[in-house]
Structure 1
Amino acid sequence: MALFLWSESPSDMPSDAAWVNVANRSQFAKSGLSMKAQALTPCVQSFCSALDTKLKAKLDDLLSYLPSDSPTPKELLGVQSRNSAFDRYADAGMVEELLRDHCITCIQYVLGCVREELQSAEDKLKGHTDALNDAKLNAVLFMARLCQSLGELCPHLKQCILGKSGSTENVMRETRSSKKLGKGKAQELNPMQAKWQEVKEQFLQQSLFAYQIWSSAVIKVLVHSFTKTLLLDAAGSILATATNWDEIEIQEETETGSSVMSKIRLPVQPSWYVQCLLFSLCQEVNRVGGHALPKRTLQLLLKTCLAEVLAGYEKLVEEKQEKKEGTFPMTQNRALQLLYDLRYLNIVLTAKSEEAKTSRSKQDSRIETVTDFLEANIDPFDLDVFTPHLNSSLNRLVQRTSVLFGLLTGAENQYTNRSNNLSSQEPHNILPLASSQIRFGLLPLSMSSSRKTKSAVKNTENQTQVLPPSVVRAEEETFRPGSLFRQLATEEEDTAAPSLFKLSWLSSMTK
């Protein structure tokens, strides 16, 4: 998939892309770049193209018995064909019904084959320890993409099922009417459209089932390695997975009332096996074209991964509560690191959707049980001192890694804290910054406009009279968005040479 996605080919852009608008382009013309955006490999494209070609041939054979959507020249002239001895359109409804039934039977046969293959692949991958390198997993992904794209890459399939209602004009009317209707209003569908919606829903369910098999196999392999490292109880293995801690100075008050500065050491990074789990998960998601994965699949991936991770922590708690002889004791430093790791994993792997909120209470109770056990191994006084510093460190870490684990964290976890004071300048920036620009807060002003403002300030200092409102507005105009374009336009207007900024398409940019 990576070789297909990140390689350039001449078919990425259509040859007429420079002068043909997207709205005027044929629905059958698909560029290579759009296929890469949907992560549809050439194998999927060739399968859908072969099926669509056969459906087109069947449809072309039956067009002689189906009335066209556009009226004939005779109908436009008002010539009636009532006296015709043979009405070739008399059985048009029966022909459409037979074509629709045969297409649906064909699709049910394809879906049945896919269902059987997915069941056998699921049974084979269940107990496989090296499932990521198994060819069956590639077949599962192929079937997932195939079911995901059959409805779109086979436009003649839709036309065969919908019949007359599958014309371009009717589709445009449907989209316009659906936009006009509110979200709460149910749109009425005719029987043909209901059948097409049912076929698309079956495609979607099979695609999601295939992606679920893939995500389960990935999580089992990765979380198995994670749990194995987590349960290692030797001192050397614990030190091998430990990360650097930060040293923080705090001010404490003694019994006499005097303040004493002391230093504490706290974790600022998760353990190595936690970082390896998240990074490997991102690698597997990107390896299969993660930008085109359904949102439901990603949410299920996060939910299942968090549940498996919690099972590993619960197993660790059980082993420590048994207190077997020869086991390494749970020290305060290790409990702090484990607590930090658990809270970080909970933030990253928690889906922020409405559907996930219902199942979050059960996981929250499991997290609280593990958290209570870890906090019991920390001194209560130290825990009160460490907690605010741990929280701030955790927030900084999530912000730093939100882009690194972008597909896992999603758009909901992206931290975009904007300061309310837009005129505040960053200490590292030596250029004057735009004060009235909201979207580009750190956009520097032009040199000439800054010179004008400096000269205007000097003139106001020398003059004792109050400036008229028009001058004040002119000074404010220099700070408005597009002031550079306006300034260049006025400078060009002073000269006799023709200016590009006088053209309509560029002058509209200054407005």
Structure 2
Amino acid sequence: MNRSELTHLDVNKLFEERSIDEIIEIEKLLDAEIERKRNDLRSMVGDRYKDILAASDAIKSMKTISENIVFNIEEITKTCELLIGTNNSSTLIAAEDTEIEKQRNEERVLLIQVRLAIFLNEQIWVALDSGNNLDATQYYLLAQHIYMGLNLTKKEYLGKLPLLDHLKLNLVTLRTKIFQNVTEKLESVEITPEETSQNLNALMLIENQTNDQLLSIFIRHRKTALQTVISTQYSSVRLQIAAMVKCLITTVLLLHDCFIYNDSKNGLLWEELNNIVGENAAYTLSKLELPVTPLVSYIPDIIKQFRPKLKMSNTSGQENKQVDSKIVESWLKSTKEKVQEGLKKNLQLVTTVKGLFLVREESLKIELPDSWSKVCADLQLPENFNIWYYFFQKLITSRAENLISTIIRNSLHDIKNDISASLKNGLKVGKSELDLRWYAWKEDSGDVSKFENDHTGLTMKTKGFSHSVVNLCEKLDQQFLALLEDVSQYLHGTEYNAMSSIPYLLNDYKFKRKFIDKEELENHLMLETSKYSLEIPKYLIDFLSDETGTDLVAKSLLSARFLQASCSLCASFQKCCEFGNEPGEWRKICDTFTKTSHSLWMNWVNSTVAKTTDEVTSLSDVSPESMMEFLSRWDEIEIQEQTEEKIFKSQIKVPLKPSIPLTNLLVQLNQHLSQILPYTLPKPIHVNFIEANINVILKEYEGIASKDLNQIQALQFLLDVRFLTTLCVPRENSQMVNFAQSICDKLRSKIDPFDLDVFYSYLQNNVRKAISQSQTLFGCLLPSTTQLMNLGTYTKNKEQELNPSLMAFSIPSTNAWFPLLPITVPSQKLPGQTKPEFTETLPKPSKSTPKKTTQDPASMMRQGAVSLFGNFSTDWFS
């Protein structure tokens, strides 16, 4: 029912149509509407006729005052007439008047005290509402003093003033309110020294606290203020920590300004207290603007001259006053614990080291006063005391270390997942690591890049790193590059790309202190990277532990090359391991990676050995039919023997080349090497490959040597073993050399001694010839460049041994790159050909001459091409 319906109700009809409960509700609505109308009317009258009402009140007041004035004048007139008529009254009447006057004075004194108590009650509330707690405290003490004086008044008067009980209860409430306001003010995050000293003095006046007690109360309240900052929800951790720093700086400055003298003057606390309770301090009543009344003259002197007093002499001898160092130390300790506890959860919200950098920058923006050093010295704080470095720096450093460990741990977890995916997906692609010739010998548009060190094209092909290996290395390096970019600003104050420049002056103490944990975090980063990165080889070993067959070999090759590539392609990874300019950790990682890589390479070596073991049985068939098929052409040599009578000539046949089964085995081994790009094979693995496979072949020859062989077979097998030993068995492997020698001894025992004496020298020459002719084909089976040194072949220096060239598939017998084409006729001088104008002679190497000179690869290729096609046009096609 709306308002318009309420004003036009038909009562008779209402009782006919409505129930009793509805009528009751309508009655309530009518009462509310009537009351609302009344209020509207009062408001309208008050607004429209305010001046008229004020004038009416003024007229009434004037009428009352006028009547009182007239009445008083009449009383004065009567009194004067009475005095004139009774001029000779007796002394008894005068005494009675004096007694009455004394009684009236007592009543007036009591009345003014009661009025003062009421007035002070109002002034205390006014002072509390305006935030002036110190004035409220002084008024409270004065009111309490008045109340105590009233208690000493005669009981017959007190009985007539029940208002005093109400005043007593009100004083208790005011005391509680003063304590509440003082506590709230002292626990404010932002507060001035003046406000602090006023509120501390308020506490001291009420409780009569000593200096140390007041200091403890102050510190307790400031702890609460800090806890307020910790508990408050901020938009970011950065702003919250900055607020905590401001709060603690404010606490230190307030402590100094209020409790410590400054320039031979008392602190604010003692100065202000001296103005309240000192001998020259103004009386408390003089600070009040009393209402105009004749009763003011009846205020007792004990009230007029009241000022607060303290039992202890807090206002004297405060020069050189120092705070208790134990209290300050206790505050430092408890505050550090509170900060640590308060930031424990909040710092978990900062998930990057760059975020910690922003937190530090925001806090260090807070400017300290120029007198900060003197403030800390006066308060007996630690040397070079700073709020940030004392309370927060270790927490931030600890969080940074945890973040670095977490980031590295997560990065390595991602890398493991990438490795697992690559190993699983690598077998699905037809072009696997088992045969990289499809990758190395295929020309791509990106083989030659315009940029340096981009790890693509020919650079990767020369190292045997396929796309899968390069992608894994890029992912690994990207993880650590992101880590370096994250920690760079915190550690150096600059972006990672600008780390080459020195971010601070060497003698600038301020900036050095800002990066005080730089070395600690760098060492932590280096150690954590080293620690977690060593899990990669373990992960690969565990991942491949359940693999067998071709899958094991393919995955082992990919894993081995990845470990090799990580040591050379991952610059950011290396930087993280050498952050402290200590290459020891990086060497340790590289050694572990290399060792694991070699163990994975051995899976491939073992697979080739297994294939060789299956195929070497073709050597054991020594039947005449097989020998006719396997033996190659022998060398026919004419020998002469001179006697006293004449010269005897005869012909002998000596094996010229290795048998066909052995050649097939060596070609097969060479095929295994060519599939995995032999110039990328680590030297120890290369030697192990040769030794393991040659050992299998020699064992087969050992079994053959134990069979019943004729002299032809023995000679052929003897050449085979000598050829194999000279070409493939390392000289330093004395065990294999002795083993091969024992096989040769068995084979020589099956040859006629006279024939052996005649044939052996020619056999040795044929071994050398066969090696010289086949070293290009079987060059990959040479264990080292010095293997054929006794045969007079070309050897490479140590630098070339460590850095094999792309084209060095074999060790040629001359210095020319391509000795493969036989020269059928001597070179002829073409018409018109002239000698070069000058020839360059190489100086002899000396101590001052470098051992190796660099030459432009492009010019070398052009010279080689000219030489090659020059031979084509002269010798080969002549």
Instruction: Give the TM bin, normalised by the shorter chain.
Output: 0.5 to 0.7
Match of 1:411 among 752, 763, 785: 785
Q: What residue number does 2:540 align with?
A: 114
Q: What residue number does 2:625 align with?
A: 236
Whether 1:330 and 2:723 are equivalent positions in the alignment is no
Are the equivalent residues in 1 in contact too, given 2:632–2:658 (CA < 8 A)?
A: yes
Q: What residue number does 1:186 align with?
A: none
Are the equivalent residues in 2 in contact too, given 1:431–1:445 (CA < 8 A)?
A: no
Structure 2 counterpart SS, 1:261 = strand
Match of 1:104 among 530, 540, 562: 530
Mapped partners of 2:827, 2:525: distance in 1: 72
Match of 2:762 among 380, 389, 402: 389
Q: What residue number does 1:247 align with?
A: 636
Mapped partners of 2:696, 2:437: distance in 1: 28
Shift of 1:90: 2.5
Whether 1:208 and 2:624 are equivalent positions in the alignment is no
Whether 1:141 and 2:557 are equivalent positions in the alignment is yes
Q: What residue number does 1:447 align with?
A: 833
Q: What residue number does 1:130 align with?
A: none
Q: Deviations over 1:402-431 (max 9, x none)?
A: 111112125333724789xxxxxx994354
Are the equivalent residues in 2 in contact too, given 1:44–1:142 (CA < 8 A)?
A: yes
Shift of 1:299: 1.5
Q: What residue number does 2:447 align with?
A: 12
Q: Deviations over 1:303-323 (max 9, x none)?
A: 2223222211222234x2xxx
Mapped partners of 1:48, 1:2: distance in 2: 21
Superposed, which structure 2 residues align to 1:295-310 within 5 Å?
295-310=683-698
Are the equivalent residues in 2 in contact too, given 1:52–1:154 (CA < 8 A)?
A: yes
Amino acid of the structure 2 residue aligned with 1:341: D
Shift of 1:105: 3.1
| Percent pairwise identity | 23
Shift of 1:479: 8.2
Match of 1:3 among 426, 431, 438: 438
Amino acid of the structure 1 residue aligned with 2:561: R
Q: What residue number does 1:347 align with?
A: 726
Mapped partners of 1:106, 1:399: distance in 2: 51
Are the equivalent residues in 1 in contact too, given 2:729–2:736 (CA < 8 A)?
A: no
Q: What residue number does 2:676 align with?
A: 288
Whether 1:195 and 2:585 are equivalent positions in the alignment is yes
Name segments (4+ residues, structure 1) moved above 6 Å. none
Aligned-residue RMSD, C-alpha? 2.8
Q: What residue number does 1:261 align with?
A: 649
Distance 1:61 1:370, change over 3 A: same
Shift of 1:480: 5.0
Amino acid of the structure 2 residue aligned with 1:364: V
Whether 1:401 and 2:774 are equivalent positions in the alignment is yes
Shift of 1:374: 1.2
Structure 2 counterpart SS, 1:249 = strand
Mapped partners of 2:543, 2:699: distance in 1: 30
Structure 1 counterpart SS, 2:534 = helix
Structure 1 counterpart SS, 2:691 = helix
Are the equivalent residues in 2 in contact too, given 1:5–1:39 (CA < 8 A)?
A: yes
Query: TM-score w.r.t. structure 1 length?
Result: 0.67
Mapped partners of 1:263, 1:382: distance in 2: 12
Shift of 1:94: 3.1
Are the equivalent residues in 2 in contact too, given 1:247–1:265 (CA < 8 A)?
A: yes
Are the equivalent residues in 2 in contact too, given 1:250–1:264 (CA < 8 A)?
A: yes
Whether 1:46 and 2:419 are equivalent positions in the alignment is no
Distance 1:427 1:349, change over 3 A: closer
Distance 1:94 1:446, change over 3 A: farther
Shift of 1:69: 4.4
Q: Which stretches in structure 2 are left out of the alignment for 5+ residues?
A: 1-435, 493-498, 795-812, 816-822, 842-878
Whether 1:158 and 2:574 are equivalent positions in the alignment is yes
Structure 1 counterpart SS, 2:594 = helix
Shift of 1:235: 2.5
Mapped partners of 1:281, 1:245: distance in 2: 25
Mapped partners of 1:339, 1:96: distance in 2: 64
Mapped partners of 2:824, 2:714: distance in 1: 39
Are the equivalent residues in 1 in contact too, given 2:460–2:466 (CA < 8 A)?
A: yes
Whether 1:315 and 2:731 are equivalent positions in the alignment is no
Shift of 1:388: 1.6
Are the equivalent residues in 2 in contact too, given 1:305–1:349 (CA < 8 A)?
A: no
Mapped partners of 1:37, 1:308: distance in 2: 31
Structure 2 counterpart SS, 1:270 = coil
Q: Deviations over 1:259-308 (max 9, x none)?
A: 12212111111111110111111111110111111111112222222322
Are the equivalent residues in 1 in contact too, given 2:526–2:577 (CA < 8 A)?
A: yes
Mapped partners of 1:81, 1:373: distance in 2: 83
Amino acid of the structure 2 residue aligned with 1:140: S
Amino acid of the structure 1 residue aligned with 2:639: I
Whether 1:375 and 2:748 are equivalent positions in the alignment is yes
Structure 2 counterpart SS, 1:10 = coil
Q: What residue number does 2:349 align with?
A: none
Q: What residue number does 2:826 align with?
A: 429
Mapped partners of 2:814, 2:556: distance in 1: 44
Q: Deviations over 1:225-263 (max 9, x none)?
A: 11x112224332222211111222221346x64212212
Distance 1:62 1:393, change over 3 A: same
Q: What residue number does 2:608 align with?
A: 218
Mapped partners of 2:441, 2:657: distance in 1: 32
Mapped partners of 2:456, 2:635: distance in 1: 52
Distance 1:141 1:257, change over 3 A: farther
Mapped partners of 2:593, 2:727: distance in 1: 31
Superposed, which structure 2 residues align to 1:177-188 within 5 Å?
none
Distance 1:446 1:382, change over 3 A: farther
Q: What residue number does 1:437 align with?
A: none
Are the equivalent residues in 2 in contact too, given 1:243–1:272 (CA < 8 A)?
A: yes
Are the equivalent residues in 2 in contact too, given 1:223–1:277 (CA < 8 A)?
A: no
Q: Deviations over 1:200-241 (max 9, x none)?
A: 100110111111221122123124311x11222433222221
Distance 1:106 1:338, change over 3 A: same
Mapped partners of 2:625, 2:824: distance in 1: 45
Mapped partners of 1:222, 1:199: distance in 2: 35
Structure 1 counterpart SS, 2:449 = coil
Mapped partners of 1:386, 1:257: distance in 2: 25
Structure 2 counterpart SS, 1:60 = helix
Shift of 1:448: 4.0
Corresponding residue pairs, total: 370
Amino acid of the structure 2 residue aligned with 1:108: L
Larger Rg: 2
Structure 2 counterpart SS, 1:66 = helix
Structure 2 counterpart SS, 1:11 = coil
Are the equivalent residues in 1 in contact too, given 2:534–2:592 (CA < 8 A)?
A: no
Structure 2 counterpart SS, 1:49 = helix
Shift of 1:157: 0.9
Q: Deviations over 1:12-49 (max 9, x none)?
A: 11125xxxxxxxx4x5x223111000000000001111
Shift of 1:161: 1.5
Distance 1:240 1:431, change over 3 A: closer
Whether 1:61 and 2:486 are equivalent positions in the alignment is yes
Distance 1:14 1:316, change over 3 A: same
Are the equivalent residues in 2 in contact too, given 1:65–1:88 (CA < 8 A)?
A: no
Amino acid of the structure 2 residue aligned with 1:137: V
Amino acid of the structure 2 residue aligned with 1:90: I
Match of 1:481 among 822, 828, 839: 839
